Amino acid sequence: MHDPWWREVTLLQVGHLGSFKDAYHRTLTTALIDAIRHANSWLEEILQRDLLLACRALADVGKLGVEETVRRAAFSDLIALWHKTPYEPQLKEIHSIFAYSAPTPDGTRIRETLLTLLGGVDEAERVRAISALGQMEAAAPTPGTLTRLSVLLEDESEYVRHAAVYALGQMHEATSETLERLAELLRHKSGGVRSQAASALRQMTRAGAPPERLTQLANLLWDDDDGVRAEVASSLGQVGRAAATAETVARLVELLGDERDRVRNSAAFGLGQMGTADATPEILGRLINLSRDTRCHVRYSVASAVGQMGGVAATPAILGRLAELCEDESDPIRFRAEYALGQMGTAAGTPEMVTRLLRLCQDKAEYVRFHAAAALGQMGETAANPGTVDRLWQLTQDKSALVRCSAVAALGQIGGLAATPATLTRLVELSRDESEEMRGAVATALGQMGAAAATSEALLCLLLLSGDKSVPVAYRAVVALGDAGGGAPQPQA
């Protein structure tokens, strides 16, 4: 009965019988569920599979499809098991049944039980009840549950607060009162409470949030508290394009000049996350000005923002400023500027930018060299010249494995123009590297070079990699053989 196939058959049978509302089928359904519940399967006292299957079946059956006494008894046992089980997989299945039962009368009783437990003294039980409510009401939370959970964000127990944040974040709907409550908590004297409230806001405003909630949240961009403005700007940015109304974008542009650096930082982040449609001359001009901010994290966010806007942001002024940021004293700023250039792709592949990146391939910081190589690769053929290929070839001998992999990947992205004899020989050598990531990168690079890499040495290398002990490496080699081998000379008949 608990074999996955038979389990599905059992649930389908119960659901079919329970769809009839006459007394005869009601008796049959009740008898079947009762038989499942008392099947006394192997190790039932520990696994409780009979009870879980019976309750899962009950959730499929309407109120009139089974005797009320059987329904109440089964769910009473389920709640008792929920209280005592120490097994995480079992608890996960119970929470799933709770969620499945949410629209039914059984769900109402379960919800009332869980809400009552929120006011208890046992911290672990309260946390468990919060977790259950979060999963049970993720799709359609009731106002009462939202209110109770938002109150718990100020609870003295850190574990209870954290559980409440996570539960609220799982829910796809929120009342204006809940959002206002969270906004109020962003001003709380306790840093922990402020952090938990901000986390809840971020989770509740992820992609797919209803327009009404986004409007409610966007109104908080005018809040008097800088912490609220910063968190809201960041949260709206995480939603992305769906949050980019004209009014919201205009307000974020205003906040680029906010007196508090955390607000400026979040506003830049938000604009970048909202995408390419906002790369207007005015916004790009404001971002250029902000890129000279004295605060390192603000400059970082500006570089991130223009990178996320992609090729449409690759104006001469923006490229010039990114070139300057590539020389910034801060390692994170330099590699974030490089990353932005890579995100702009071929649009950023000007001779000046390529020259800058080639210099950065010799930077003292590992991640700066890594991102310099990656950006050159993303620029593709626009970055292809003998100097680029030679510098990337040198990076394949870098002391850092990360940098070596990045250089190999970049050579592949540049394509056939990088397939010099020296490059191919070096790639064949690296195909014997002990690192799975390196062998896979070599296979992909040879494939990307196409017919230009279809030498007997390179094809033999790919053939050997197709038998690699690592399945991902072998797969990449087989794909590469098709790409590179397609242009190989064919033997004469």
**The CATH number of the domain where 442 resides is what?**
1.25.10.10
pLDDT for the residue numbered 487: 47
C-alpha span between 306 and 304 (Å, rounded): 6
Same domain assignment for residues 408 and 323: yes
Split at pLDDT 50, 70, 90, the class of 305 is: very high
Tens of pLDDT, residue by residue over 240-278, are: 888 888 899 999 999 999 999 999 999 999 999 887 666
What are the structure tokens assigned to 221, written together?
Answer: 């961009």
pLDDT at 394 over 60: yes
pLDDT at 222 over 70: yes
C-alpha span between 353 and 63 (Å, rounded): 69
Same domain assignment for residues 401 and 318: yes
Tell me what the mean pLDDT of segment 464-485 comes to.
91
C-alpha span between 214 and 431 (Å, rounded): 50
Dihedral pair phi/psi, residue 481, rounded to 5°: -60, -40
Of 418, 439, 468, which residue sits at a domain end? 418
Nearest CA among 381, 276, 346, 383 for reference residue 360: 383
Contacts by 146-149, CB closer than 8 A, 24 or more apart: 146/171, 146/174, 146/175, 146/177, 146/178, 147/177, 147/178, 148/115, 148/118
Burial of 123 (0-12, 13-18, 19+ CB in 10 A): middle
Tens of pLDDT, residue by residue over 95-132, are: 999 998 888 888 899 999 999 999 998 999 999 999 99
Split at pLDDT 50, 70, 90, the class of 342 is: very high
Split at pLDDT 50, 70, 90, the class of 482 is: confident
C-alpha span between 440 and 462 (Å, rounded): 10
Token match 């089964």: residue? 74
75 domain residue, yes or no: no
pLDDT for the residue numbered 423: 94
What are the structure tokens assigned to 401, written together?
Answer: 């494995």
pLDDT for the residue numbered 340: 95
pLDDT at 209 over 90: no
25 domain residue, yes or no: no
Of 386, 418, 450, which residue sits at a domain end? 418
List of residues 6+ apart from 417 with CB closer than 8 A: 381, 384, 389, 452
Same domain assignment for residues 327 and 350: yes
CB 170 within 8 A of CB 209: no
Same domain assignment for residues 335 and 385: yes
Other CB atoms within a 10 A radius of the CB of residue 148 amount to 17
pLDDT for the residue numbered 486: 52
Tell me what the mean pLDDT of segment 80-98 comes to.
92
pLDDT at 229 over 70: yes
pLDDT for the residue numbered 208: 57
Split at pLDDT 50, 70, 90, the class of 364 is: very high
CB 309 within 8 A of CB 279: yes
Same domain assignment for residues 405 and 442: no
Of 418, 448, 463, which residue sits at a domain end? 418
Same domain assignment for residues 365 and 453: no
Q: In Å, what is the CA distance from 388 to each residue of 240, 251, 322, 365? A: 35, 42, 19, 19
pLDDT at 427 over 90: yes
pLDDT for the residue numbered 173: 64
382 domain residue, yes or no: yes
487 domain residue, yes or no: yes
47 domain residue, yes or no: no
Alpha-carbon 427 to chain mean position: 33
Compute and round to an integer the Cα radius of gyration of the chain. Answer: 30
pLDDT at 325 over 80: yes
C-alpha span between 279 and 287 (Å, rounded): 10
Give the highest mean pLDDT range of 8-22, 195-209, 280-294, 401-415: 401-415
Other CB atoms within a 10 A radius of the CB of residue 270 amount to 31
Tell me what the mean pLDDT of segment 332-341 comes to.
94
Other CB atoms within a 10 A radius of the CB of residue 492 amount to 4
* Structural domain harbouring 375: 314-418
Domain count, the chain: 2
Top pLDDT among 59 and 183 is at 59
Same domain assignment for residues 402 and 450: no
**Mean pLDDT score of the chain, rounded to an integer?**
87
123 domain residue, yes or no: no
Split at pLDDT 50, 70, 90, the class of 492 is: very low
C-alpha span between 230 and 198 (Å, rounded): 10
Tell me what the mean pLDDT of segment 41-59 comes to.
90
Top pLDDT among 3 and 83 is at 83
106 domain residue, yes or no: no
Other CB atoms within a 10 A radius of the CB of residue 225 amount to 15
Other CB atoms within a 10 A radius of the CB of residue 38 amount to 12
Same domain assignment for residues 466 and 411: no
Same domain assignment for residues 375 and 326: yes
pLDDT for the residue numbered 490: 42
Same domain assignment for residues 435 and 460: yes
Same domain assignment for residues 456 and 476: yes
pLDDT at 10 over 90: no
Same domain assignment for residues 412 and 437: no
CB 400 within 8 A of CB 365: no
260 domain residue, yes or no: no
Tell me what the mean pLDDT of segment 346-375 comes to.
94
Burial of 469 (0-12, 13-18, 19+ CB in 10 A): exposed
Question: Poorest-confidence range of 176-180, 399-403, 418-422, 427-431?
Answer: 176-180
pLDDT for the residue numbered 225: 84
